[in-house]
Structure 1
Amino acid sequence: MFNTIIKRPKITMVFVLLLIAIGTLTLFQLPQKEIPTISLDIGTVSTVYPGGTPEDVEQQVTIPIENALENIDGIDEINSVSTSGFSNIVLRLQDGVNGTEVFMEIQQAINGAESKLPEQVSTPNLSQSGGLGALSSYHVKSSDREELYELKDIIHGWQREIEAIPGVENTIVKGFPDQNYQINIDSEELFENGLEIPNVIEAVEEELNTQPLGLQEINGENVQLALAVLESEEEIGGIFIGRNPDDNAVYLEDIASIGMENETPEDLITYEDESAVSFTVTTGSDVHIPNLHDDVNDRMVDLSAELPEEVEFELFYTQKTIVDEIFSNLSISFLLAVVSVIVVSLLGLSFSSALVVALAIPTSVLIGLIPLPFFNVSLNQISIIGLIIALGILVDDAIVVGDNIRNKYREGLGPLEGALQGSKEVRISIITSTLAIVFTFLPLVFISGANGDFIRALPTVLIMTILASTIVALTFVPIFLVWREKKQRRKKEKSHRVPKEGLLGIQLDRLANWYSDSILKRVVRHPWKVAIFGFIITTCFYALIPFIPVEFFPSTDRAEVTVEVRLPAGTTIEETESTLLEMKDFILADDEFINETAVYAGNGLPPLFGDGITNGGNETGNLLLRVDREKQSAVETISRWTEPLQEEFSDAEIELTTIESGPPVGAPIAIALQGPEVDTLIEMSNQLQTEIRNLEESGTVLDDMGPLRPTIVYEPVREELEEQGITLAQISEQIGIRTEGIPLMTFRTGEEVIDLQLTLDRLEENDELDLSEIVIPSQGNGEAGPPELIVLETLLDATEVEEIPQIIRDEGVRTITVRVFPADDNDDVLESEIGTITEDLQASAGSDYTVSLGGETEARTDFILELATLFIVVMFLIYIVMAIQFYSLSIPLLVISTIYIAGAGAMIGLFLTQTGLGFMALMGIVSLSGIVVRNSIVLLEFIKQRRDEGMNIEEAVIEAGRVRLRPILLTAFTAIGALTPVALSGDVLFTPLAISIISGLLFSAVLTVILVPAVYTAFATKFGK
């Protein structure tokens, strides 16, 4: 087939040009993003239980809903938090399930469980989250927060406008309080008019709960019948309640203060010392970020024109800036890589061969891009780095084919005959080595979870580009060299000249002769000694692993530092905001490198710079610092301010973080404590935190339970209750109506939805509940006449205590997680010491309680185990391919041994540069597996061919070394040249990958040309093959 293609160059080139054109169109149509879409498939079930304690919420809301969900197929994890008045259940779906169908089942289960919940509980709300990140975020700011609140309807109108733009998934507005229509009844007015609370509730509901009147046929026409009802909130006060003893009509406004009121906001935002509201735009999975940002930003600017003059509108964050920076840096790296590959090619190849390599690069890349849309791969930093890695590999085929064809021309063959024989001679080894590379990277496509979503673009791009390069090398390269050779032979003045084989061609020939005549001749005399000594040296280098820093995903070189703060339970959101502002002033007073700040009290920042706050509330918040990273990095800022903030604000739990260059893995070290009793778990957590804080470099240590919440417990006086015939339900109603109130019906006017809330003598902020002012009718007096009114003070004893602020459940088991953020991220000794502490704690905890070490350590271990499994699969697939090619069971082991050699080289590079051994470094080592086997295959295939021609073992090995040294060195150094710009770029994510590949290739290129011939000679001599 390939010979036919080479013999028909014009038709072949038409198809090549067509594929190039399609690839070019694909390049401009692929979505551009910062990182690949990381699918999380997370659902959140939020339920409000007004006034409920954490225990009440857990038992009466959380557990019934969890029980309804636990048997649904497709749910991987169920975690929940039950806090005062609120239940939050987080569901994570399994990888690969149909999210739409599973969420439908979840909603049905929630609807079924709703009937088992207390009447006061609001309808559980299921929300979904499909991925991480946001397109952009804006601030609308003013010096007057109340003025911002008046813009609520305008901003919500913006949401409808922006969400209508194609590519926008949804919008998130933070900073506005919820509103309800408050009906606060005056008890004195109510009783003076001879009315009771049920009279008010019944009157309001009967006024608003009307039935449609339907249609009536009148005079041959269907006429709609309608009842005139209240049309605006101002008319609610005119609802008729009843008549007083004087037979006068009593209306709602006569006995209650009514009107719209703001609830306590979930977020209080301050941006650059002014009150603000945040407007964040999130995207779908397949969008072109720069283009979508331009569309959204233009619309936002137009919409902002309707704001009052005194209100400012500013862009706070956009992914477009990051994408433009990433693509600019990686584009430069890509161009430098192309130049490096061409320069290296010119050193060892003739100009025509180097020109072939230069043309093969864009051709292979563009053809390799064509399938990417079908695999949902976008242009992002992961896919571009895949292209850069591919650069160093894809030219290998062109170099090997071109070099062998040039050898045939030097032997005197004609242009077409030389191309046919030269390409045929290396065709099998090229196809086999390509399959080896494909099999190397193919298992990476199947890595599970967020890590798989993050890295999947890299193997996909590599596989497609390498397949394209193989096709180009076996078709386009021979055709081009035929044309080039014919042209040169037509020039009489060059007809008898041998073209110069590269700028260093003569030197490389001398090196090849010296290598084969001096080195290999000695190697083949003592193959066993050379092989054993070489593998001992290689093995010794693996002893460097304990001295290499370990960092799963390094922190990015970004300007943002997030300070997450959790104050003692019971802290109001206003106090939280005040504390965050004090922290901001404390930092700015002594750090001139921070040029921008934002305070988010409450639930924290929108999803811009990481996971955000888990279990947020009034006592939590974020302080965002933007640093001049040219003068001070984010990591330096964290190191500088962690201890001073903890010392200055000792009552707060403070955690400083920056963005990780990968999917989130949580705290570096996390210890999960699980068991039946929360009090026991708290004691274990306190003991664990104390012991860890006593360790050196322990850094920040905290748990997700937090300090106890101040609580007033009303203990019933049972004897009095029994004597008066009063129940606890009646007492809770009397207290609840003064604190949380009673939700009434929803009042709708056009598009506006208004929630009605009924209270009686509502307690204002900072008011204490006075039991002596609350009376309840006695049910124990059987005498005629009005019932005796009993003061609650005689029925209850109030005691101030501290109780748990929340109950956290993991897979239905009560859990507290202690998180550790070490001062030194690479302190393996600290991890070991914490492991010992957790083992001792488990030994003393009893069988009902478990202590398990997790966090980034667990994530790293799980990933390494998964990668090790895939690596075994890779080795097996490569072995099968080699066994088929060489029809041998021993030669594949020889090929695979080069991977072992390359891995040792990667360890050397990581150790010398003190680069972290993490996710991307391991990806680099896996990538090496596919790259280094090529050199072995080419060398062994040549030996096999020469032995088939009648040479003995020693002659075949020496001759193979002479002929194949040039392409082996060139292919290794072109890959090194392609990745050197990346290694020198300082990119925290890709530098480990580049260093591991470069050092592995250098080491393996040197040892492969010695150890492979030695091992082959040793085995072939002993076993006769």
Structure 2
Amino acid sequence: MIKWSVNHKSIIMLFVVLTLIVGGFLYGAMERQENPTVAAPVAVIKIIYPGATPEDIEKLIIKPVEDEMNRISDIKTIESFALDSIGIVKVTLKDLSDGKIDEAWNEVKSGLDTVKPLLPPDAHEPTMETDLASSYGIIIGLTSQDYTYQNLSEVANKLRDELITDPGVKAIDIDGEINDQIHINLDMIKLEQYTVSPTDIATAIKARNINIPGGNLVMDQVKIPVQVSGEYKDIEEIKNTIVAVSTETGAPIYLKNVADVVRIQEKKEIFASVNNEKALLIGVEYMDGQNIVAIGERLNTILDEFSMNQLYENMELITLTDQANFTKDAINLFEKNLLSAILLVVMVVVVTMGLRSAIVVSLPIPIVIVMVFIFMYLSGIPLHQVSIASLIISLSLLVANGIVVNDNINVYLEKGHDRLTACTKGIQEVKIPILTSTLTTVASFIPLAMMQGVSGKFVKSLPVLVSVALIGSYITALTVIPALGYKLLKVKEKDTEGKGIKTKIAKVLKVDGFSAYILNLYGRLLKGALKIPVLVILFFVGTLIASLWVIPSLGVQLFPPVERDQYVIDVTTQDGSDVEKTEKAAIMIGDLLKEDVTINDFAYKVGDGMLQYYVTFIPNDPASNKVQFLINGDRDEVSRIEKELSTKVPGVSINIRQLENAAPVTYPVQVRVSGQEISELRRIAEEIKDITHDVPGIKSIEDNYGYDSYKLNIRVNEEKANLVGVTNYDIASTVRMAVNGLTVSELKEEDIEKDAIPIILKIPDEKKQDRDVLNNIFITSQITDKNIPINQIAEIETETSLNKIVRRNGGRTITVGIFVESRYNSNEISKSVEELLKDYKLPDGYTIEFGGESEERSDAFDSMKVPAILAIVIIYLILVIQFGNLKEPLIIMGTIPLSFIGIIWGLKWMGYPIGFMALLGAISLMGVVVNNGIVLLDFIKLLVKEKDDVKEAIIEACKTRMRPIMIGMITTVISLIPLALSGGALWAPMATSIIFGMLVSSVLTLLVIPCAYFVIQGKEGLN
């Protein structure tokens, strides 16, 4: 292949040009997104059972589902929530591949089918949601104080019709709509006078409001459809519905005689606001596999045109979040980093190797990058920050092969060989060592692709793309570089000295003199080290052991928060608070936020969570005492804003959360207590709060059971009810109608685009201010047709009631959740809490466990153990094959842990904690360290065979290989500097690990490997 490439240079160049052209076109067509798409191993099952208490939900809904789910082996945890009228089961799977996750969900669905016959007849069908990671690409706020919700809905629907025409739009949801309803406010006194029951009215309305096809008549061989229609056309027809006939006069009794029929706006239970003004939220979901940057640009054009031409006066469209803009910014940043890294590497190569060598070594860089783009396009890997970071990491690695090959060509040229010989034999001599180094580097990355956790899947494309780049680098080293080398490289002639660019630069920078000085210094240092090789090795081992003591001071953080000027404020009012009370707190907070200059705009939802605008964002569950804010503002001001809001808005719980790169947790620190009796669980939880309350760094503590509320329990006297012909169902349905209202039919609008208006049978709200409303309810006997007051057949009692029951893995569990001050580490708080509770005595049958961020962190770090061990084993096997024995590979492998010295002190100096990305950098570094060791040890062995004085052979080999090793080190460090400086808290720790690890490992390679080889080979025959 090498000789063929030299003899067919034009063909090689043709392939190069074609590759660059194809790659350029594919790059423009590639899918773009901010982060990799990760399948969430979490599903939420919801089952509604109207009117059921949490105790009933736990027994009749949750328990059967849990029992069936426990049969599925791939489930990691089951968390259940028994609430009023609804049961929620959250299923989390073990670490599985995406394909196995789909199989597991199929098992869960089959299990639900098995459970369905066991559920109460009145329970709704179970629903299961698995697409919890999908988020809206753009969320728009449509706001105005001058218009009704109906006006806002009209405009929002027009905008939806415009946006949905874009081929990149998958779905559009309008959130926060407040629709009209038709209320039939019953007058219970008149109903009793006319002896008309609510059931009679519901039956009459359903029978009147019909539209039934009557079939077809065939007349003169033409089908004529017959329609029997009695549908309501307006509210007047509803009022004039005959609901009964007077038994005394025979006159019809109309609905308007016994009820007040009105069309009003539904009660605001869940609604949105933007910048403290009435608003609707419009969420746009993008199609999968698309360039969302291009989609975003098209949608912004539509929004601009809509605002100018169709938006009502004094209405405003506010873009609250736009994934396309964030993606564009992220990719642009990484592209700039990549270009900066390429330019820096080329400059280093020009200065150290000359212009001709720089062209030979650097030209393969764009070729390999384009090869990676082609692979990404064919394999469906999008362009995002992880894939571009892969290219930045690969940059120094793919240059290394070119440096070694180019250096050996020059060695042959300097020995007097012609260009053909130099470009063929020179490369032939090193093709096995660079193949081995390429394979060992690939081996250090590939096992990372085996990680199945969410963290592993997040970076899964990184090892794959780095491996593709390395393989591409090896191919170009055997094809493009010999062809270019034959054309450009030549032996220096004496009369041309001083005329080359490299020489001129070297003179200005005094590079040659400095290089000679360093080379001589290294030679003397190595000669001295070979006199005491064991002590040299022990010194570095001791330095490593001493460095390990620094690790605890670094702190631990799985992933840093997303570096985006957006955050969430979760506000909780007192348990049992109605929406009106929660809205007042939201308005008060909104007024304070409007005055803050660091906040651009904000939106909130009362009674429900915000639309999911980021893959790891968890919206609030529906609750009348909760409001969730989305803030666009400076995230560095989060701590200040949280303190100010907590001070100025008393009586509410305020917690600010930043977006997370990792899977989010409800509480950073958790203490979970499991047992049977809820009262005992609550007692234990209160004691835990008291014990841990004064731990420094704790911001607030709460538990997930909350407080009990009151309920009115209607105890039916079965004997009395049966005697008068009233069933429990009659009582329950009538009470439900009176308290919550009962939807009996609907009025269809003439405009088919509008939803039908529900017709609701109810008691007027102003008459439901106290419990006396229940005493005024009567039920019509099915036997005597008489009205029976409810207080004659039942007693109404006031009782305390659980708001919810929480279970975990089949047992009742209460969680004490701890929020942590921003300047503290949750890992430290968790250790302090565990230490305080280590002697806490639990009653028999109760257990305690700790969780939170530390739990997720432990799972992620554990998932790295097997890949790291596998990488080491694969690297060792490759080296054994390369060197043909078991001892010499150990020399190279021994430099891997020594590189941790640089990693530890680099993280310490830069102030980064130990996290997933820092450890990823450490694992990635293994292949680079081994590369240098292979190049050095292989040449040492070669010269030892040729020379009688082995010590001098070692010194000469090390001095000869010092240049490519140091150039490789410099290019690695230089290429990662942009990522270290502007990669943010996510990528900078990884770049720091590689940079500082590389700096130290390169020095150690040039000292430890020759000393270790000297020791292992023995001193027999050495001078």
- TM-score, normalized by the shorter chain, greater than 0.5: yes
* Equivalent residue, structure 1, for 2:1015: 1018
The alpha-carbon deviation at position 1000 of structure 1 amounts to 0.5
Measured after TM superposition, the shift of residue 74 of structure 1 is 6.6
Q: How does 1:967-1006 map to 2 (within 5 A)?
A: 967-985=964-982, 987-1006=984-1003
Superposed displacement of residue 392, structure 1: 1.6
Deviations 1:534-592 (A, max 9, x none): 22222221221011132221123332232111222211222212112223444666x54
Separation in structure 2 between the aligned mates of residue 104 and residue 207 of structure 1, nearest angstrom: 44
- Residue pair 2:742, 2:760 contacting (<8 A) in 1 also: yes
Change (3 A) 1:75 1:226: farther
1: CA distance between counterparts of 2:838 and 2:99? 37
CA drift at 1:345 = 1.4
Report what 2:278 is aligned to.
275
**Matched residue, 1:148:** 149
Q: Which residue of 2 aligns with 1:579?
A: 585
Matched, 1:804 2:835: no
TM-score (structure 2 length as normaliser): 0.91
1:715 & 1:683 partners in 2: Cα distance? 30
* Structure 2 letter corresponding to 1:450: V
TM-score (norm 1): 0.91
> When the two structures are aligned, how many residues end up with a matched partner?
1009
Give 1:203's aligned amino acid.
A
Counterpart selection for 1:891 from 885, 888, 893? 888
Judge which range, 883-892 or 977-986, deviates more: 977-986
Q: Map of 1:718-737 to 2, 5 A cutoff?
A: 729-737=729-737
Question: What is the CA-CA distance between 1:533 and the residue it aligns to?
Answer: 2.1
The CA deviation at 1:160 is 5.4
Q: CA deviation at 1:775?
A: 5.1
Which letter maps to 2:204?
A
Distance (whole Å) between structure 1 residues aligned to residue 310 and residue 1020 of structure 2: 87
Counterpart for residue 402 of structure 1: 406
In the alignment, the residues of structure 2 paired with residue 121 and residue 59 of structure 1 have an alpha-carbon distance, to the nearest angstrom, of 13
Mean Cα deviation higher: 327-336 or 392-401: 327-336
Aligned to 2:199: 198
Supply the distance in 1 between the matched residues of 2:262 and 2:65 (Cα, whole angstroms): 35
Q: Give the match's secondary structure for 2:899.
A: helix
Gaps of 5+ in 2: none
- 1:523 and 1:1013 mapped to 2: Cα distance? 9
Contact 1:724–1:778 (8 Å) recurs in 2: no
Matches within 5 A, 1:944-955: 944-949=941-946, 951=948, 953-955=950-952
Q: CA deviation at 1:851?
A: 2.0
Using the alignment, how far apart are the partners of 1:266 and 1:98 within structure 2? Answer: 40
* 1:694-719 deviations in Å (ceiling 9; x for gaps): 21111232233333334344556789
Aligned to 2:188: 187
Paired letter, 1:832: K
Whether the aligned pair in 2 keeps the contact of 1:49 and 1:122 (CA below 8 Å) is yes
Partner Cα separation in structure 2 for residue 264 and residue 840 of structure 1: 51
SS of the equivalent of 1:798 reads strand
Aligned-partner residue type, residue 29 of structure 1: A
Q: How does 1:329-408 map to 2 (within 5 A)?
A: 329-408=333-412
Secondary structure (helix, strand or coil) at the match of 2:227 reads coil
After alignment, is 81-90 or 358-367 more displaced? Answer: 81-90
- Aligned partners of 1:270 and 1:499: how far apart in 2? 65
Question: Is 1:606 aligned with 2:611?
Answer: yes
Aligned equivalents of 2:793, 2:214: Cα separation in 1: 52
> Match of 1:844, SS?
coil
Listed one character per residue, the Cα deviations across residues 343-391 of structure 1 (whole Å, up to 9, x for unaligned) are 2212321221112223122121111221113433211112112111111
CA 723–390 in structure 1, closer or farther in 2 if over 3 Å, else same:
same
Amino acid at match of 1:799: T
Query: Where in structure 2 are the equivalents of 1:762-841 lying within 5 Å?
Result: 762-764=764-766, 767-770=769-772, 773-774=775-776, 776=778, 789-792=788-791, 795-799=794-798, 801=800, 803-823=801-821, 824-826=823-825, 828-841=827-840
Q: 2-side partners of 1:10 and 1:464: how far apart?
A: 25
Aligned-residue offset at 1:479: 1.1
| Structure 1 residue 960: Cα displacement | 1.4
Corresponding residue number in structure 2 for 1:457: 461
Return the alpha-carbon distance in structure 2 between the equivalents of residues 881 and 934 of structure 1: 12
Mapped partners of 1:365, 1:352: distance in 2: 21
| Aligned counterparts of 2:727 and 2:227: Cα–Cα separation in 1 | 44
Query: Residues 736 and 865 from structure 1, CA distance in 2 versus in 1: closer, same or farther, beyond 3 angstroms?
Result: same
Paired amino acid for 2:353: L
Q: How does 1:278-317 map to 2 (within 5 A)?
A: 278-304=281-307, 305-317=309-321
Deviation at 1:1017, TM superposition (A): 1.2
Q: Using the alignment, how far apart are the partners of 2:1021 and 2:42 within structure 1?
A: 61
Q: Are 1:468 and 2:472 an aligned pair?
A: yes
Q: Name which of structure 1's ranges 172-181 and 382-391 shifts more when overlaid on structure 2.
A: 172-181
> Helix, strand or coil: the match of 2:913?
coil
2: CA distance between counterparts of 1:256 and 1:104? Answer: 51
Cα distance change on mapping 1:556 and 1:756 into 2, 3 Å = closer
Partner of 2:173: 172
- 2:532 corresponds to: 526
| Displacement after TM superposition at 1:395 (Å) | 0.8
What are the superposed Cα offsets for residues 943-1000 of structure 1, whole Å, 9 maximum, x if unpaired?
Answer: 2222344555423321210110000000011010011122222612111111111110
Partner Cα separation in structure 1 for residue 100 and residue 343 of structure 2:
46
Are 1:568 and 1:709, in contact at CA under 8 Å, matched by a contact in 2?
no
Query: Which of 419, 425, 432 pairs up with 1:428?
Result: 432
Contact 1:688–1:837, Cα closer than 8 Å, also in 2: no
- Partner in structure 2 of residue 684 of structure 1: 684
Q: Which of 905, 912, 916 is the equivalent residue of 2:909? A: 912
Any conservation in 1 of the 2:767–2:773 contact (CA below 8 Å)? no
Q: Per-residue deviation at 1:116?
A: 5.0
**Quick one: which amino acid aligns to residue 681 of structure 2?**
L
What are the equivalent positions in structure 2 for 1:897-936 lying under 5 Å apart? 897-936=894-933
Please give the per-residue CA displacement for 1:46-93, whole angstroms capped at 9, x wherever unaligned. Answer: 444443322233334444455565556876654333322333344456
Which one is further off, 682-691 or 720-729?
720-729
Q: How far apart are residue 241 of structure 1 and its match?
A: 3.3
Measured after TM superposition, the shift of residue 620 of structure 1 is: 0.7
Secondary structure of 1:151 counterpart? helix
Q: Distance in 2 between matches of 1:492 and 1:270?
A: 79
- Tell me by how many angstroms 1:819 deviates: 2.5
Partner amino acid, structure 1, of 2:35: I
Deviation at 1:320, TM superposition (A): 2.6
Q: Does 1:698 align with 2:701?
A: no
Q: Is residue 444–residue 870 contact of structure 1 (8 Å, CA) maintained in 2? A: yes
Spell out, residue by residue over 1:101-130, the C-alpha distance to the aligned partner (whole angstroms, 9 max, x if none).
Answer: 766776676566556555554454444425
- TM-aligned CA distance change 1:596 to 1:216, over 3 Å: closer
Flag the 1:620–1:511 CA change in 2: closer, same or farther, 3 A: same
Aligned to 2:652: 652
In the TM superposition, residue 219 of structure 1 has moved relative to its aligned partner by 4.4
- The residue type equivalent to 2:176 in the other structure is G
Task: Give the C-alpha shift of residue 426 in structure 1.
Answer: 1.1
Alpha-carbon shift at residue 162 of structure 1 (Å): 3.3
1-structure distance, mates of 2:817, 2:998: 39
Greater mean alpha carbon deviation, residues 163-172 or residues 105-114? 105-114
Kept in 1: contact 2:402–2:481 (CA 8 A): yes
From 612, 621, 625, give the equivalent of 1:615.
621
Q: Determine what percentage of the aligned residue pairs are the same residue.
A: 25
Deviation at 1:417, TM superposition (A): 0.6
Aligned to 1:1007: 1004
The separation in 2 between residues aligned to 1:72 and 1:1013, in whole angstroms, is 56
Distance 2:889 2:356 in 1: 35
**Where do 5+ consecutive residues of structure 1 fail to align?**
none
Contact 1:181–1:754 under 8 Å retained in 2:
no
The farther-off stretch of 541-550 and 308-317 is 308-317
**Other structure's SS at 1:997 match:** helix
Structure 1 equivalent of residue 259 of structure 2: 256
SS at match of 1:990: helix
Task: State the shift of 1:466 in Å.
Answer: 1.6
Q: Structure 1 residue 149: deviation in Å? A: 3.5
Shift of 1:690: 2.6
Cα–Cα, structure 1 residues 412 and 232, in superposed 2: closer, same or farther, change >3 Å?
farther
